[in-house]
Amino acid sequence: EDQVTQSPEALRLQEGESSSLNCSYTVSGLRGLFWYRQDPGKGPEFLFTLYSAGEEKEKERLKATLTKKESFLHITAPKPEDSATYLCAVYNTDKLIFGTGTRLQVFP
């Protein structure tokens, strides 16, 4: 059964303190791994799609990487506005299968 596990559940960082979020997955034939950002009371906002091991994508302070079993979302020198829940998902035929997310809080 396809499954996505994210860790840690919650992460508190000081502004400027870099860290990484983990997404482990098991899927029969990866057709895309997605990262979304979700603010409270809002829908998920698309960040990245990765398709094959070794692929990397960057956007501002965020960098996503992919291996055959997991993906990392690296946050470099975060700012308070980066505070949100970060969701990882894998695409399977007709749907996205999401993890439970990592709730990130960045303090000034």
Partner 1 sequence: DAGVTQSPTHLIKTRGQHVTLRCSPISGHKSVSWYQQVLGQGPQFIFQYYEKEERGRGNFPDRFSARQFPNYSSELNVNALLLGDSALYLCASSLATGGKSEKLFFGSGTQLSVL
Stretch that binds partner 1, among 14-22, 56-64, 71-79, 94-102 (CB under 8 A): 94-102
Instruction: Return the structure tokens found at 42.
Output: 């809002």
- 3-class secondary-structure state, position 18: coil
99 binds partner 1 (CB under 8 A): yes
Residue partners of 61: CB distance under 8 A and separation at least 6: 75, 76, 77, 78, 79, 82
Q: Name the residue nearer to partner 1 (CB basis): 18 or 47.
A: 47
Q: Name the residue nearer to partner 1 (CB basis): 4 or 21.
A: 4
The rounded distance, in Å, linking the Cα atoms of 34 and 15 is 25
CB of 21 to partner 1, least distance (A): 14
Residue partners of 90: CB distance under 8 A and separation at least 6: 2, 4, 25, 27, 30, 31, 32, 33, 34, 96, 97
Please identify which residue in 33, 66, 89, 90 interacts with partner 1, judged by CB under 8 A: 89
Binders of partner 1 among residues 19 to 78 (CB under 8 A) are 31-32, 34, 36, 41-46, 49, 51
What residues line the site for partner 1 (CB under 8 A)?
4, 31-32, 34, 36, 41-46, 49, 51, 87, 89, 91, 93-101
